[in-house]
C-alpha cells in the first residue's frame, strides 16, 4: 500500500485509499464493498510470457474476462498463468491485492477500453483489503498501459 500511496502522491493525484473490513480479493467483493458497478473495478490480471518468463499485466473491467488468445497476440508471445512467486517478484504484491501502479519492477501493461466508460474506477491498493479510486485516464497514464481489446 505504501508504494501505491507514493506513486499517487508523486503524480500529484489525490490519495483515496480505503480499507475494507470485508476484503476485496475478487472484483465482486470489491464492488460490493465500495458500492460501485462491477465493471468499475479495475482488475489486475497477470500472465507469464512463455518465451521469456516475464509478467504481463492486463487491467480489465471487473465483469470482463481476459481472452488468452487475444492477449497473447497483443503481447506478441504465448501467455500462460503467472504463479504467485512471479507476481510477487515482479510487482511486490500478493495475488488478490495487485495494484495497477507502484510495482517493484516495470511491467508491460494493457488496459481494457471498457474502463474508459466510467468517471472513476477502483483498483487494488496493494493488499486484499485496500482499494483506491482513480480516473481511467490517470490509471492508464500511471500504469503505462496500452488501450486494447483483449476480452
Kindly tell me if the per-residue pLDDT of 42 is higher than 90: yes
Residue 123 to residues 25, 27, 52, 79, 130, Cα–Cα distance (Å) = 11, 9, 28, 23, 9
Kindly tell me if the per-residue pLDDT of 69 is higher than 80: yes
- 3 and 114 Cβ atoms separated by less than 8 Å: no
Distance CA 13, CA 122 (A): 14
User: What pLDDT score was predicted for residue 16?
Assistant: 84
Closest to 45 (Cα-Cα) out of 34, 31, 33, 61: 61
126 is written with which cell numbers? 496493494
| Cα 71 from chain centroid (whole Å) | 15
Kindly tell me if the per-residue pLDDT of 9 is higher than 80: yes
Domains and CATH numbers, the chain: 2-147 (3.90.960.10)
Distance CA 53, CA 62 (A): 26
User: What pLDDT score was predicted for residue 26?
Assistant: 86
- For residue 19, what pLDDT band results from cuts at 50, 70 and 90? very high
Kindly tell me if the per-residue pLDDT of 89 is higher than 80: yes
The string of pLDDT tens digits covering residues 118-133 is: 999 999 999 989 999 9
Amino acid at each position: 500500500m505504501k508504494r501505491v500511496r507514493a506513486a499517487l502522491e508523486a503524480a500529484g493525484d489525490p490519495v483515496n485509499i480505503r480499507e475494507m473490513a470485508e476484503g476485496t480479493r475478487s472484483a465482486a467483493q470489491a464492488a460490493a464493498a465500495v458500492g460501485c458497478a462491477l465493471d468499475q473495478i479495475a482488475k489486475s490480471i497477470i500472465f507469464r510470457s512463455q518465451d521469456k518468463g516475464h509478467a504481463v499485466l492486463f487491467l480489465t473491467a471487473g465483469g470482463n474476462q481476459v481472452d488468452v488468445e487475444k492477449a497473447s497476440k497483443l503481447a506478441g508471445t504465448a501467455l500462460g498463468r503467472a504463479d504467485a512467486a512471479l507476481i510477487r517478484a515482479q510487482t511486490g504484491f500478493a495475488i488478490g491485492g495487485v495494484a495497477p501502479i507502484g510495482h517493484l519492477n516495470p511491467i508491460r501493461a494493457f488496459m481494457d477500453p471498457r474502463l474508459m466508460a466510467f468517471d472513476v474506477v477502483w483498483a487494488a491498493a496493494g493488499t486484499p483489503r485496500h482499494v483506491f479510486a482513480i480516473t481511467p485516464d490517470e490509471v492508464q497514464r500511471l500504469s503505462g498501459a496500452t488501450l486494447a481489446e483483449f476480452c
